[in-house]
Amino acid sequence: SSGRVQGLLPTFRVRPRGRRARGHVLLPGAMEEQRAALRKLKISDLQQRLKDRGLVPFGPKQDLVERLLAEELKQAAPASAGDGDAIFGEIFGPGGGGKIDIDKKDKKDKKDGKDKKEKGEHKDKKEHKEQKAHKENKENKEHKEHKEKDKKEGKDKKEGKEHKEKDKTDKKHKDKKEKDKPAPAPPAPAPLPVQPAPLPVAPVKEKKDKKDKKDKKEKGKEKSGDKDKKEHQQATGPSPVSAPPAEKKEPAERHEDEMEDFWKAIAAGTTVEEDQPGTAANAAAEAEEEAERKRKMEEEAEAESRRQVEHAAAMADEARRREAELGPVDEAAAQAQMAAEAAQETDLHRQRQVVMSARDVDILQQENQRWLHRLEKLAPAASIIVQQRDSGDWEAIITGTEPGAARHAELCFRALFASLSSEVVEVRVPPVEDLARCVEVIDIPEAAEGCVLPHKLTESFGIIAAFVHDKERIRPRPSATAEQIELGRVLGLAVGQAVEIRYAEDWFHGKVIGFTTESTVLVEWLGGGEAEVSPVDVRASHAAAAKTNRMHGRLVLIGEQRPRIGAKFQAMAAVDRRVVGHFGEAHPPKPAGQLFGFDISVVALPSSDGGACARMRHKIVAASEAIVEVAGKYAFVAGEADERRRAKAFLSNLVPSAGPFGDAASIPDELSDCCSQVRVPLAAVAGVAGVSRANLSRIEDATSCLAFWLPSGTSAASGASADAPMQGTLILGSGDTCSAGDAVEASWRGDWHGAKVVGPGQDAGRICITWDFDGSQQDIVSDNVRLPGGQSNSSGSNKSTPGGPLKGARVLAVIGNEKNRRSCVLQIMASTESVCPGVWMASLEEAEMEARDGKPEDEVFCGVEAAKHEGTPAELEWLRSASVGQQALRSAARAAGCIIQIVGQAFFFAGFPAQRSRGREYVQWASKSRMQQGIAGLQGQGIARRGLSVVDADMRDDVSTMTVNDAHIAWLRLDKLAVIEKETETLLVFDDGGGSVLETGSRRLLICGEQDQLRQKARARVEAVCASAPPPQNTAQAAAPGVSLVGNAAAVKRPSSEDLAAGQDPKRSRPGIPKSDPRAVLKSIPWPDSINQWGMLQNKIWAGHPKLQRGWIRCWSRSQDSEYYLRLSDKLTTFNINEVLV
């Protein structure tokens, strides 16, 4: 590969590994003119000139021109081996440059072109034969035409031939005279940079070619005339006097002679031109052109000189800039620069400016600017303004209202973007732990590279986590002599500069280590090795130095105390999984030593743990409400005193000793205040636990509790006392209940005798009684006590097993906070009731006591009350359905702030009294609005056969109202409402206006919930959904697509006696289709739970039945055990088929 430096620098032929290259010098002025003149010549003329100089003529035209110029240069000014020739002396000064060795190049060209010469000679012979044959054919054709013309012209032909012979003889004498004329001597070559003699121009060759064609044509005609003359002599006889014939030459030989004469004239410096008039005028014009040409050459030389000066100045400026980028001049300057940077970073009052990219701005604007809000939360004493500069770049202006606030905000700002981009923050002064500003620092060892991901900590814990590294030390620039610096400035480079070096066709990284006096560059490759290369093969490296984001070292955590400690523990545990014992044993977190308040504890796990604590960690965290992380053989615990106490009890005792199915020998005393016990019949133990404890584990996850099976025979305790299974209520062995003072019968030696109940016995499972026959007291086993006469006060379901279903029941201990325990116990009771119906329905008061840990209502914070369902089984089944019923219950529970659970045929509500009251109302509202039928019994009312109507909605502080167009109701589907309800913790139901006057085509939406802020958020979400709905064409078409269960129904019309007495049979069937039995079809398929499903099953359930009017469908009423008809447009229902038949 080769390159060219602008100006007068030489062109080098680059060779790998710094081998010195040779080339030729480009000369301004005369040489450029000579090159232009040679380029106008044909390739054959250039080849002939090379032949005349003893060189092999091969290669393209450009190479031929350059070789001729090199030969002219060699003859004009041969290079010396000492201080260099005059040309290089001008460029590099005395002693600069190197010898231009062109002889070796010519010799190599001759050697390499030997084969090409032989091929060229073979080609020339072939072309010569073809040219000869073509000329002969052309001459024969011309002779034939001339002969035919002579026959017509007669005598004129002979005169014309004699005239042509005379002209030919005169022309030959003239050519011979000009040929014998001595040629002028060529001008002596002038020393450089004097302009050499101009070369001949192309028009001379063109005139010669035209003259040759004219001579060939005349020679052809002459040959034809000679042939005619010979024929005439044969016909008339020989002439009396005949001269001996002249020696003739072949056309090819004549052509070679002419070419040889032409090249001799060119070598002698003469031109062959025809005589033309006005020779003196032409000479004047040529002189004027020569003067103009010299003037232009002088202007170009001056411009070239200016360009060289400007280029040299630019190269020097570039070199100085590169030198400045290499660093300070010495070590003292480097230290001063680092000190200035450190002082600027630690300035507590300085305003900060952080340059941002467009991606950073997009991050701040995403998700309602949540990252910007987090920055404002973590740096409350600072102001952050993001603005765009005139150049189009973005920057953040950070100011503080107190000393150090701007610096802390800048750290938060840079750490946030570094974390989200998986990069690191580089500072001159590293941050230190500052609990006042919520900053904590931990060191991650290099062996744990990559195991701690800051962006995951940032996302999971609501903090800002990032690695902060020290900036690289500023190093002074490499030392270089003044001579090296000046040589580098000429080339625009500097010693120590990072560059790219060309090798073959590729570029490789390296750096400059020096320069030579021959204007070559000494470089060092990026992997080792040095080379000397040409400047054209070196260019400045614009690629930024590769930055390695080391994910280890100083990890900075910024955030509130609780989430910050959680992130810290998680990072420590991740490191200990890679580097065993690094934090668990060598560098554990240090507690503050506070008995009360938030603190840290390190718990050593028992040897029997076997990884159980690590597997149950998330459940321990939920049940204890502490921050827990397991690191090898230790566990890190953080939280309040009670939270740490509960977590320690889980980690050191209960969880490691529990069996594979969650069996525990006992509950530690540290957990007794947060433990509830619920009895589970033996027949329901497997159903409550599920396969591999899956069902019980699901309940634990849903309620944030931990449940353990106590040993068989353990009696349920009421709170901290184990005196009786229930306070005030005793359970007999038959499953019946009794209280103190009740008359009973007790067994004594196989006979039953009268007695009175005193209370629970000293031991579990015993009752204290007073015998009627002697008045003595005795504790006897509860199995030996019964009601008088063997009667029972329990339902028949409790008699399903001897001694009742709770006889020998297992006790399940539930640990968690009070509200979560209530939810967990109620779900376990519901699972028990589904397996053993009637266990808790026999006495709702007993079930309430079981859920309240056997305590009365006024002794607990989270009370429990039950209400038995008095509606139809269909209504209860709808509420139990996973699709809409359970969703409605969950929405009502979230909106009311209480726990709602269906156990058997009853509803259980847990929470504060006001919350339980709202929960009862919300369940009724949701059922009426979404199922179109109310639930009876929740407030002692009967079944409501009309839609929801809340007359006091406008006066309640837990309900907001809004009017919705009927066209938009179809787009408020249950799936969209469920999302809004879950996000805002509200309940959304439609009513009939509650007596208020509504506009035609509109409905009232009730937004129910405890907090007004959440209700307003739900209102905005509903308005957004309505605004996105397309405008409908008419009301009927708009309501049909939704087929939603949302909305109220008109009064259901029952068939009257007059309707049934009508003459038309409403049960007529469609001809040709067998009439199906709807009852039988419904028993064979799952019961449809939505209007959409009823619509899709019309042809299957009522096959062959009469066709209904458009927009009506059939449904089946379980309570009436008959079909009814529903109009989709307004949800109007009727039992009279005559109103809907086609």
pLDDT at 159: 54
- Residue pair 1006/1048 in contact (Cβ under 8 Å)? The answer is no
Mean pLDDT is highest, among 614-618, 709-713, 926-930, for: 614-618
pLDDT at 285: 86
**Of the ranges 26-30, 305-309, 594-598, which one carries the lowest mean pLDDT score?**
26-30
User: For residue 846, what are the CA distances in angstroms to 416, 699, 769?
Assistant: 56, 23, 22
**Of the ranges 272-281, 446-455, 826-835, which one carries the lowest mean pLDDT score?**
272-281
Q: Indicate if the pLDDT at residue 652 is higher than 80.
A: yes
Where does the pLDDT of residue 1050 fall: very low under 50, low under 70, confident under 90, or very high at 90 and above?
very low
Higher pLDDT: 1093 or 604? It is: 604
Tens of pLDDT, residue by residue over 1112-1121, are 889 988 877 8
- State the average pLDDT over residues 620-649: 95
Where does the pLDDT of residue 404 fall: very low under 50, low under 70, confident under 90, or very high at 90 and above?
very high
pLDDT at 215: 55
What is the maximum alpha-carbon separation in the chain? 198
- State the average pLDDT over residues 976-990: 93
pLDDT at 275: 44
Please give the mean pLDDT across all residues of the chain.
Answer: 77
pLDDT at 198: 39
Where does the pLDDT of residue 149 fall: very low under 50, low under 70, confident under 90, or very high at 90 and above?
low
Q: What is the pTM of this model?
A: 0.59
Using the Cα atoms of residue 915, residue 916, residue 921 and residue 924 in order, give the sign of their dihedral. positive
Mean pLDDT is highest, among 208-222, 227-241, 601-615, for: 601-615
Tens of pLDDT, residue by residue over 256-280, are 666 666 666 666 655 444 444 456 7
User: For residue 243, what are the CA distances in angstroms to 234, 239, 240, 246?
Assistant: 16, 10, 10, 9
Q: Indicate if the pLDDT at residue 1127 is higher than 90.
A: no
Q: Is 164 exposed, middle or buried (0-12, 13-18, 19+ CB in 10 A)?
A: middle
Q: Indicate if the pLDDT at residue 122 is higher than 80.
A: no
Mind spelling out the 3-state secondary structure of 24-72? CCCCCCHHHHHHHHHHCCCHHHHHHHHHHCCCCCCCCHHHHHHHHHHHH
pLDDT more than 90, % of the chain: 35
pLDDT at 1088: 86
pLDDT at 384: 92
Amino acid at 1095: G
- State the average pLDDT over residues 718-733: 50
Higher pLDDT: 978 or 190? It is: 978
Higher pLDDT: 88 or 705? It is: 705
Q: How many residues does the chain have?
A: 1142
| Those residues with Cβ within 8 angstroms of residue 275's Cβ, 6 or more apart along the chain or in another chain | none
Where does the pLDDT of residue 467 fall: very low under 50, low under 70, confident under 90, or very high at 90 and above?
very high
| Those residues with Cβ within 8 angstroms of residue 829's Cβ, 6 or more apart along the chain or in another chain | 678, 840, 847, 850, 851, 901, 903, 908
- State the average pLDDT over residues 70-86: 56
Tens of pLDDT, residue by residue over 679-708, are 999 989 999 999 989 999 999 999 999 999
**Of the ranges 165-174, 318-327, 600-609, 931-940, which one carries the lowest mean pLDDT score?**
931-940
pLDDT at 59: 74
Higher pLDDT: 1040 or 211? It is: 211
pLDDT more than 70, % of the chain: 71
pLDDT at 120: 60
- State the average pLDDT over residues 829-846: 89
**Of the ranges 496-505, 927-936, 1001-1010, which one carries the lowest mean pLDDT score?**
927-936
Q: Indicate if the pLDDT at residue 830 is higher than 80.
A: yes
Q: DSSP letters along 824-879, please? A: HHHHHHHHHHHHSTTTTTS-HHHHHHHHTTT--GGG-SSEEEEEE--S-HHHHHHH
Higher pLDDT: 1020 or 138? It is: 1020
- State the average pLDDT over residues 661-679: 92
Higher pLDDT: 528 or 113? It is: 528
Tens of pLDDT, residue by residue over 1-37, are 333 333 333 333 333 333 333 334 444 556 777 788 8
Q: Indicate if the pLDDT at residue 1067 is higher than 60.
A: no
